[in-house]
Chains A and B, each alone.
Chain A
Amino acid sequence: MDNPDPTRKVTPKTKKESLSKEERQKQLEFQKEAVVHLNSLYNYALHLTMNPSDAEDLVQETYLKAYRFFNSFERGTNCKAWLFKILKNNYINRFRKNSKEPGKVDYDLIKDFYHSIKDVQNDTSEAESDYFHSLLHEEVHQALHSLPEEFREVIQLCDIDGFTYEEIANMVESPIGTVRSRLYRGRKLLREQLEGYAKKYGFNTDKDQ
């Protein structure tokens, strides 16, 4: 990665505007492979930072780095997973460097977010009496964020972003067996949280009967 690319010629100043054919090709490929995952990456960053402007910075840094090292991206593998890994590393470095407290949650901000989209996101059309359907987006979000980081992370990568166990194992740098058990325990914890909300609304959960 550190070796200078021998195929890249030093472009004379006068030819600044016209990019080489390879550069333009790289750009197009990058847009097709990497930029299409912008929304997923942005949401991942939001979940990590809980702060929109930090999230934007993080995503920008990630794409800049990804573009620089795009040649080292293994073609045919999951580009989204590759980008997530870069973002995660950036996140860790950034919060270590600034010794900024990670997980400092701005609930008001998140709440605002949810209010602004509430009307648009009225998805569940069938009125099931199931208590799960009475849960609000905001509550599920809070329940998820109440979990210890190691559990929240795998649930998010699996259920929201749809990565395979192998990809998740690679991202969190743990064996697949660990991913399995974290998902198992994480979902269990989450369910307990959600049942707590359900009780608050006076729904009976199976366990009471």
Chain B
Amino acid sequence: MNCQKAQVLMSAAVDCELTVKEEEGFLLHLSECKECKDEFEDAKKTKMIIKEKIVQFKAPQSLFNSIMELTSASSVER
């Protein structure tokens, strides 16, 4: 595997979306290419940051209430 092929697989490797065979080839390339290995580590880190730092808001209670209402009201009409 060359660097170009490794880059194509990079994101899928981060997200554990590689097939067993792809993963084998990818890991083999990383073991002999520092550049791709560094890039892989960076990509994993970037994913971690997003997961950690993007705040998930809680939906307002009023929204929850109105959805519960919507779903039960629509069954009554017609």
Residues of chain B within 8 A (CB-CB) of A191 are 42-43, 46
Q: Is the CB of B55 within 8 A of A160?
A: no
Q: Is the CB of A67 within 8 A of B17?
A: no
- The CA-CA distance from A184 to B47 in the complex, in Å, is 11
- Per-residue A-contact encoding for B8-22, CB less than 8 Å = 1, 0 else: 111110110100000
- Given contacts A39-B58, A121-B55, A26 and B46 within 8 Å (CB-CB): no
- The CA-CA distance from A164 to B10 in the complex, in Å, is 15
Distance in angstroms from A134 CB to nearest chain B CB is 11
- Per-residue A-contact encoding for B34-58, CB less than 8 Å = 1, 0 else: 0000100011011111111111111
Q: Is the CB of A123 within 8 A of B11?
A: no
The A interface is mostly helix, strand or loop, or mixed, namely helix
Residues of chain A within 8 A (CB-CB) of B38 are 206
- Given contacts A43-B57, A123-B52, A184 and B67 within 8 Å (CB-CB): no
B71 at the interface (CB under 8 A from A): yes
- Per-residue A-contact encoding for B57-76, CB less than 8 Å = 1, 0 else: 11110011011101110111
Q: Is the CB of B59 within 8 A of A144?
A: no
B7 at the interface (CB under 8 A from A): yes
- Given contacts A187-B47, A191-B46, A194-B49, A63 and B54 within 8 Å (CB-CB): no
The B interface is mostly helix, strand or loop, or mixed, namely helix
Distance in angstroms from B73 CB to nearest chain A CB is 10
Q: Is the CB of A190 within 8 A of B12?
A: no
Out of A19, A42, A123, A164, name the residue touching B76 (CB < 8 Å): A19
Q: Is the CB of B15 within 8 A of A158?
A: yes
- Given contacts A38-B63, A59-B67, A180-B11, A137 and B55 within 8 Å (CB-CB): yes
Cβ-closest chain A residue relative to B72: A27
Interface residues of B (CB under 8 A from A): 7-12, 14-15, 17, 38, 42-43, 45-60, 63-64, 66-68, 70-72, 74-76
Q: List 25 A-B contacts (CB under 8 A).
A: A19-B75, A23-B75, A26-B75, A35-B67, A38-B63, A38-B64, A39-B56, A39-B57, A113-B57, A114-B55, A121-B55, A137-B53, A137-B55, A140-B54, A141-B54, A159-B51, A160-B54, A160-B56, A165-B17, A180-B11, A180-B12, A183-B14, A184-B8, A187-B47, A206-B38
Give the 8 A-B residue pairs with the shortest CB-CB distance, closest first: A183-B11, A42-B59, A140-B53, A159-B50, A184-B11, A23-B75, A67-B71, A187-B46
